[in-house]
Chain A
Amino acid sequence: MTTALLIATGIILIVAVLALVYRIINLVGIAKEDSNKVTFSNKINGALFPILLVVGLGLIYWSYNDASQYFLPEAASIHGKETDALFNITLGVVFAAFVVTHLLLFTFPFFFQYSEKRKADFYPHNDKLEIAWTAVPAIVMAVLVIFGWRAWADITAPASDSALQVELMGKQFAWEIRYPGKDLKLGKYDVANIDNTNSMGIDFDDVNANDDFMAREIVLPVGKEVELKIRAIDVIHSVFLPHFRVKMDAVPGMPTRFKFTPSITTSEMRTKTNNPKFNYELACTEVCGYGHFGMRRIVKIVSQAEYDEWLMKQKSWLEKNPDYMATWEAKKAEKDAVAQAR
């Protein structure tokens, strides 16, 4: 209720202030006679642009500095460092363009405001000028395209064979995480296999699936390439690992992938950020229903030794669900019978 009151008072105040401003402008207009009124308001408006330029640039400078303490910490993946650098360079380029154009746009109104004594230039075109400012952006764009293209090609290249595979499956509203087990191979899956126990629809006719295990958190060794195998079973979700600059949609019926190499462990990042509670996070960025904003998982980047230790402790899915194979066989027999009856 207090917020409502606050907002209401705020609105009333604003309206009052605006009414006052209007009143003043009107009174000034009446005092100065109609014809002068145009020139007078013209002066005010013309002057407000350069004022806004100065104040605005100051505000941008201040607010950017202030906000940057809340930005993500340095990228925790190898490609992320590259794209961050590229982002900063591009931001620099476009900010320069922004400043230069606004310098002109916001000072011209002041310098060239209406005066009865002056006549505007008749200056309909200038081919050289136009060619120049077509060419300059074109060249800048070409440079940016080349850098961007190289980074993109690296990022989207196939993962190496030795990459650690981890499967992420999006559903309303959670992520399921599957590891390949000791054989380093993920078993097959099929949505048709999904039931109350087998939530990922793992196919246990595939021997590779026997040692697969599911985890509650994503745990990854630092410095090792990881290939995320991404899918969804109901609607589109999107894997977003903001600290690693990783994002890829999870699409039902169309598995996708993303490879990256984590470069900073969770505990290192805790020291770096001076935040003992720091955690890497996995979020969903494709609107997927009312629980969209809650699809969070924690990601832990650990040393290879810690990872191996963790791995040893994991039990395969089948070990955790000892009765499942019986159900599986029964279901299969049933299916075969149905198929045969057809």
Chain B
Amino acid sequence: MSSVVLDVEHNDVHSHDDHHEHHGNFWTNYVFSYDHKVIAKQYLISGILWAIIGGGLSLLFRIQLGFPEANLEWLRPLLGDWITESGKMDTTFYLAAVTMHGTIMVFFVLTAGLSGTFSNFLIPLQIGARDMASGFMNMLSYWLFALASVIMLASLFTSTGPASGGWVIYPPLSALPQAVSGSGIGMTLWLVSMVFFIASSLLGSINYISTVINLRTAGMSFAKMPLTIWSFFITAVIGILSFPVLFAAALLLVFDRSFGTSFYLSDIYIQGELLEHSGGSPILFQHLFWFLGHPEVYIVLLPALGLTSEVISTNSRKPIFGYRAMIGSMLGIAFLSFIVWAHHMFVSGMNPFLGTIFMFLTLIIAVPSAVKAFNYITTLFRGNIVFTPAMLFSIGLVSLFISGGVTGIILGNSALDIQLHDTYFVVAHFHLVMGSAAFFGMMAGVYHWFPKMFGKMMNSGLGYVHFWLTFLGAYMVFFPMHYIGIAGFPRRYYSFTNFDAFSTFADLNAFISIAAIVTVTGQFIFIFNFFWSMFRGKNAPLNPWGSNTLEWTTPRKPGHGNWPGALPIVYRWPYDYSKPDADKDGFGDFIPQDVPLSKTMESNTDEERVLAQLDSDLQKLGEEREKNPFI
């Protein structure tokens, strides 16, 4: 058991910091803080700001699609030159808006805002560590993200407009400034911003991984880790393996743009001019891009699934069903996510044989996903369900995950993807499975851990209204998009009236736009609730949801170092909810992770009875720590 002792030593390195809590000034406490909890909040607030911008952009282009004939002169104060004389929205602005919406939502809201917030906040708290492995690197990762944000934000205000070739920035469109106005300075800023973003993400991920591996408290074996931690851990691994490939792809793109290389360019005649590029292939970029792009979907989704696993188990008052299967399916999804990327490229002109392989691999990924969905549903079965707002959002996530997931089975079939690729069917699919589901996971996380973050409770009445509005809204917005997609309407179209085939859905398009406006506006309920509760909410009890995990054993507002005394010791897995006979041991429907097995002799399973006897090392450590917390 020497490793346990080692861990303990590691963890206590920071313990002296407790006494320094109130020292330091505003800058070191709130701005350039090393504290993972502060950094998490920085990520969260940044994510919310980005979501407002990204959501606002989607409204702008939805207005165009929903009301193509409308006079948009009233938007001139906001869009200025992008509203042309005729009172219509500029077509290049439309493309820029779609592009920036996608970029912002995927990277800045759901990667940084979701994964950044909760990995930072929960990893040390749930594994019983004082902080991240490197507080300095952690701070650096936030500030690199902030720098990326500022640059991306600046690109919205350049005279030629932000990047506008879609968030996937396929060359040659993105490589040739003359191809589209956003491919000039806007594209340059996009690339520079992403360089910082990737650096930030890598620093973060390295920190998450090393923290999980090294700083788990005594007794917190991998088999006792909450699924949240598993999901953050696996996500970080995916990020480390895939982001560098995007980095490489972007670097080569910069070379093509600025230094005359031809990695992606060949045989190009544009704007009356023959370019000298030859021998490159745009398809190469697509391979490199989607090698990140597809895992990115899971970088966004897995943390959401981790958060909701925790929330669903807690509020069903039941252990998550199939803990091992949940971990196994996450590992399976993570592994498979690296070898399915070319299903985005079935009709790109790549060898059809590859199409066959990628269809096969893609449909396999449906299996672990299905396992997850079934496990969630079975967790609800014969539970004793409390509907906190977080729980509602978690159930909503499972629903959206299923709805969006099943259409993936259609799209993964290369023969069917021929018709559906790049139509609104795809937009509907990914908005349900990735956009909305991950967004719901984020919301579940905020509602559930708000008391721990700010020491206050959020208003649950407002939370209910927020949930039902958002849940219905998400379906109202994205479900009908399938219909338009089945009719073939291509995505990234400024207008659908040019084509007879696509012009038939004017009413439905207007409906979608109105639903989107309502849904996005409804998010202000949340924003109000969030900031209002932060200052005026009721004080939170120590463990408001009756949860087993370690973060609820800290003080109401944990200071630097998280636990004022000794670190907690972990004796059991985090899902001991409604254990039979637990009341005979003096516990209600939950037994926190730091309760020794020896204190629950009645409710222990047979296996645990044996363990209770064997675990004498942990036991001794616990007793010693009771006498002297700083061991």
Contact = CB atoms under 8 A, between A and B. Distances in A.
Report which residue of B281, B415, B495 has the largest number of chain A beta carbons within 10 angstroms of its beta carbon.
B415
B483 A18 contact: no
A134 B282 contact: no
B324 interface: yes
Consensus secondary structure, chain A interface = helix
B380 A105 contact: yes
B327 to A, nearest CB: 12
A26 B459 CA distance: 10
A233 B268 CA distance: 5
Given A60-B479, A253-B278, 14 more contacts: A48-B468, A63-B480, A80-B419, A86-B415, A98-B406, A109-B385, A122-B579, A141-B409, A236-B172, A240-B490, A249-B347, A256-B349, A290-B181, A293-B496
B541 interface: no
B371 A242 contact: no
Contact of B387 (A45, A144, A152): A45
A120 B319 CA distance: 10
A149 B91 contact: no
Question: What are the 10 closest A-B residue pairs judged by CB atoms, nearest first?
Answer: A253-B266, A156-B352, A242-B488, A94-B406, A256-B349, A151-B415, A148-B413, A45-B387, A67-B483, A70-B504
Interface stretch (A160-168, A205-213, A278-286, A307-315): A278-286
Interface string A91-126: 101110110011011101100111100111111111
A156 B377 contact: no
A130 B371 contact: yes
Contact of B410 (A91, A137, A243): A91
B446 interface: no
A97 B8 CA distance: 48
Nearest to A244: B419
A192 B274 contact: yes
A97 B410 contact: no
A124 B359 contact: no
Nearest to A239: B347
Interface in B354-378: 355-356, 359-360, 363-364, 366-367, 370-371, 373-378
B384 A141 contact: no
A293 B370 contact: no
B67 interface: yes
A67 B409 contact: no
A112 B575 CA distance: 18
A114 B518 CA distance: 32
B5 interface: no
Nearest to B316: A120
Nearest to B483: A67
Given A114-B384, A287-B166, A105 B499 contact: no
B517 interface: yes
Nearest to A98: B406
B413 A18 contact: no
A256 B580 CA distance: 65
Contact of B282 (A119, A129, A252, A283): A252
Contacts of B338: none
Given A70-B487, A137-B367, A138-B367, A108 B501 contact: no
B415 A155 contact: yes
B399 interface: yes
Nearest to B87: A1
A119 B578 contact: yes
16 contacts: A11-B517, A18-B525, A22-B465, A45-B387, A63-B479, A70-B504, A108-B383, A121-B578, A144-B409, A192-B274, A233-B268, A236-B170, A236-B282, A247-B422, A252-B172, A283-B501
A13 B398 CA distance: 31
Given A1-B73, A235-B172, A293-B494, A83 B418 contact: yes
Contact of A123 (B318, B398, B407, B413): B318
Given A26-B461, A253-B280, A254-B349, A120 B522 contact: no
Interface in A247-264: 247-249, 251-254, 256
B31 interface: no
Contact of B173 (A56, A83, A112, A287): A287
Report which residue of A14, A104, A124, A149 has the largest number of chain B beta carbons within 10 angstroms of its beta carbon.
A124
Interface string A173-194: 0000000000000000001101
Contacts of B265: 252-253
Contacts, number: 370
B177 to A, nearest CB: 12
Given A4-B74, A18-B465, A83-B419, A149 B356 contact: yes
Contact-size category for B: 35 or more
A288 interface: yes
B423 A233 contact: no
Nearest to B345: A249
A225 to B, nearest CB: 17
B411 to A, nearest CB: 10
B578 A120 contact: yes
A133 B374 CA distance: 8
A92 B170 CA distance: 34
B418 A246 contact: yes
A64 B487 CA distance: 12
A46 interface: yes
Nearest to B329: A134
Interface string A189-229: 00110100000010000000000000000000000000000
Contacts of A242: 419, 487-488, 501
B325 A125 contact: yes
Nearest to B510: A3
Contacts of B63: 7
Given A29-B461, A87-B419, A123-B318, A97 B406 contact: yes
Contacts of B321: 123-126
Contacts of A114: 317, 384-387
A249 B410 contact: no
B254 interface: no
Interface string B60-95: 000100010011011000000000000000111001
Interface string A1-40: 1011001001100110010011001100100000000100
A172 interface: yes
A71 interface: yes
B499 A296 contact: yes
A276 interface: no
B559 interface: no
Contacts of A7: 63, 514, 517
Contacts of A26: 461
B402 to A, nearest CB: 5
Given A46-B385, A133-B374, A246-B418, A125 B322 contact: yes
Report which residue of A72, A122, A156, A291 has the largest number of chain B beta carbons within 10 angstroms of its beta carbon.
A122
Interface in B241-270: 265-270
Interface in B482-533: 483, 486-488, 490-496, 498-502, 504-505, 508, 514, 517-518, 521-522, 525
A289 to B, nearest CB: 4
Contact of A254 (B283, B360, B502): B283
Given A112-B380, A122-B580, A134-B371, A86 B348 contact: no
B43 to A, nearest CB: 28
A141 B419 contact: no
A156 B355 contact: yes
A238 interface: yes
B475 A56 contact: yes
Given A98-B403, A141-B364, A251-B348, A113 B387 contact: yes
A194 B514 CA distance: 47
B355 A152 contact: yes
